[in-house]
Structure 1
Amino acid sequence: MLDFSPIASAFTVAYDWTSLASSSRRGKKYPKVHVLELSKCYQREGKRGQIGYRSYFSIFTPMLMSQRFVAIDFETANADLASICQVGIATFQDGELIETWESLINPLDYFDWFNVEVHGIDEYDVVDAPTFPQVASEILRRIENRVVVSHTSFDRTALYQAMVRHKLAEVPCQWLDTARVVRRAWGQWSHRGYGLTNVCRELGIVFNAHNALEDARAAGEVLLQAFRATGLGLEEWIIRARQPINPEANEPIAREGNPEGVLFGHEIVFTGALVVTRREAAVLAAESGCTVAGDVRKTTTLLVVGDQDIDKLAGNDKSSKHRKAEKLISKGQKIRILKEGDFLHIAGLES
């Protein structure tokens, strides 16, 4: 019999950081909360059937169980994912947006011009903003023991990296990647075109891209449309998103490369959590000419690194394949380490 321990009771609180008045030239918002409702929830630790990984998740009251989730998005000051400069959180319940919260964050870090061009936030906008440790408790209060939705694993990794940087404890919650949902819910986006902007345009979801709260809201609305399009609910999508796009595709990842491919002569290995499935990455690599192997060895020439699956790193910053590749490189073996996005660009999947 499962041992459930109550960790919170229902309450409502009003909250307003009036002391953090914005000096932003663009009128960006600092933390402001109108009403926060926490239902009674429970925590369980252990394996979840066929998924088989250590996780925490909530069991809500019957009214909330199937459809309550929190969508989150972060913007960063530079390529370091820990340099969070904006957070947006949108809470959905029973198919409706019921609450939003957003804040600028002073990352105590430099702003790269590329990132500023993307989201429009610079060092002047955050000069009076709270730091990440100052807003961490508010983020925690909203996502702890909830189903947390984000589009791609960027936001999950950013939160983890920020927590590590500031020596804060990891947040127990259940993540659901809406990019993986989109690729399984709609066939036209199974291999490409599943970026948030493109998907929202096709689904008729209007939002202001690269604003954290707007991106979070849009990801949540995409998930609601996936519910309606497929008939699957939140719990079903948590399971389905971790399965292959084609659930019956169980063939081995190893394969020979196309002699006419642009990368013919290379042997490639994948590590980390990829946006595409491992099998799809293998097919794409083989079509591009690579011999695909399951592990790093003396014949490996390319290692593609996705966002690391935090649950599988066993306390390390890099996967065992990544560490093995670096060890071989130090001994003189020529191995090029690529990010997944760079590999997809070379292979022609992304422009």
Structure 2
Amino acid sequence: MTQPIALSQPVQTDTPDFVVIDVETACARVSSICQVGIVGFRDGREVFAFETLVDPRDEFSPFNVGIHGIRPDHVIGQPSFGEIHATVSAHLGGRITVAHSSFDKGALAAACRLGGHPQIETEWLDSVRVAKRAWPQLANHKLNMLARFLGIEHRHHDALSDARAAGMVIVKAIEHTGIDLKGWMAPPARAKPRPPIAAADGTLSGERVAILGEAVDGGLASLVAAAGGRVLRSVGMTTTLLVVANAQPYGRWVEASPMHRKARELADAGKPVTIVSEDAIRARVADAA
């Protein structure tokens, strides 16, 4: 970059479904924003773009200049962050804002704090998280690598080009997965804990054990598995033992709990399921040791 970029006026024809922001910084202080690029997308296409250099009122480090090419002489006469705060807030405020990683979110927050400006209220969506879920097979999910993989025209570490590319990552992820923007905004489902793998043999070998009052990856589950028992997530037709943990949450009403009730129903129907306490199962394992 050899010439200053004048403040680009946004050309907005439609209300965007989401906007994308990217910033470049002058030095290690994330508040030192020296370039801002914002792009709006609606129905998978770009509907406006805004770009400006920013005078960060801070030093430029050689490391940062080496990354984006913006030098102190490029920002002479350019607006400060305070002078563009209202414009940035108007584009992002009350909308879904995409950024590639949390860096840009943190930089905006720091610049607002430093200048005493109101924080920008928006809903953030991390395009890195989206890309990792959409294309888990990739070795990394850096923006330049994603752009190359997805065939997106891109000039790395130029704020407007980075914002465009991150927006296209969202567009292509929606096309690739069928998950819409609302789906990507929903928190990811938490993976269910996996039961420990049963040892090849032991005093509980052949037992299929459900545990009431403890997660399937807890200490009691590990004890059961180490003794050869297969830990189950719930009581079913093949369950042979229901172990009632000492810390189970039902207190004296334990017999009314769904797992206990199911085990009693199976036992009454002639299925080989036995209900035992945690102390009893620990004693059984200890006696066999």
Regarding TM over 0.5, the answer is: yes
Aligned-residue offset at 1:153 = 0.4
Alignment of 1:21-36 (within 5 A): 26-36=2-12
Aligned-residue offset at 1:33 = 1.3
**AA paired with 1:224?**
V
Residue 145 of structure 2 corresponds to residue 198 of structure 1: yes
| 1:228 counterpart (150, 155, 175) | 175
**AA paired with 1:33?**
Q
Find the residue that maps to 1:124 and give its secondary structure. Answer: helix
Alpha-carbon separation, structure 1, partners of 2:7 and 2:19:
17
| 1:126 counterpart (70, 75, 82) | 75
Find the residue that maps to 2:64 and give its secondary structure. Answer: helix
Residue 191 of structure 2 corresponds to residue 248 of structure 1: yes
Q: Deviations over 1:91-148 (max 9, x none)?
A: 0001101111100000000000000000000101001111000011110111110100
**AA paired with 1:26?**
T
Contact 2:14 2:47 in 1 (8 A): no
Alpha-carbon separation, structure 2, partners of 1:165 and 1:84:
11
Residue 28 of structure 2 corresponds to residue 79 of structure 1: yes
Aligned-residue offset at 1:248 = 2.0
Aligned-residue offset at 1:28 = 3.3
Aligned-residue offset at 1:26 = 1.9
**AA paired with 1:106?**
D
Q: Deviations over 1:26-69 (max 9, x none)?
A: 23322221434585xxxxxxxxxxxxxxxxxxxxxxxx6xxx10
Find the residue that maps to 1:30 and give its secondary structure. Answer: coil
| 1:186 counterpart (118, 122, 135) | 135
What's the % identity of the aligned pairs? Answer: 37
Contact 2:99 2:126 in 1 (8 A): yes
Gaps of 5+ in 1: 1-24, 40-63, 253-351
Alpha-carbon separation, structure 1, partners of 2:107 and 2:10:
26
Match of 1:326 in 2: none
Alignment of 1:204-283 (within 5 A): 204-239=151-186, 242-243=187-188, 247-250=190-193
Find the residue that maps to 2:74 and give its secondary structure. Answer: coil
Gaps of 5+ in 2: 196-289
Alpha-carbon separation, structure 1, partners of 2:184 and 2:172:
12
Alpha-carbon separation, structure 1, partners of 2:65 and 2:26:
7
Alpha-carbon separation, structure 1, partners of 2:133 and 2:74:
39
**AA paired with 2:166?**
A
Alignment of 1:128-143 (within 5 A): 128-143=77-92
| 1:166 counterpart (94, 115, 118) | 115
Alignment of 1:1-16 (within 5 A): none
Alpha-carbon separation, structure 2, partners of 1:29 and 1:238:
34
TM-score by length of 1: 0.53
Alpha-carbon separation, structure 2, partners of 1:133 and 1:83:
12
Alignment of 1:326-345 (within 5 A): none
Match of 1:332 in 2: none
**AA paired with 1:179?**
V
Alpha-carbon separation, structure 2, partners of 1:177 and 1:149:
6
Alpha-carbon separation, structure 2, partners of 1:93 and 1:82:
30
Task: Looking at secondary structure, tell me which structure has more helix per residue.
Answer: 2
Task: Looking at secondary structure, tell me which structure has more strand per residue.
Answer: 1
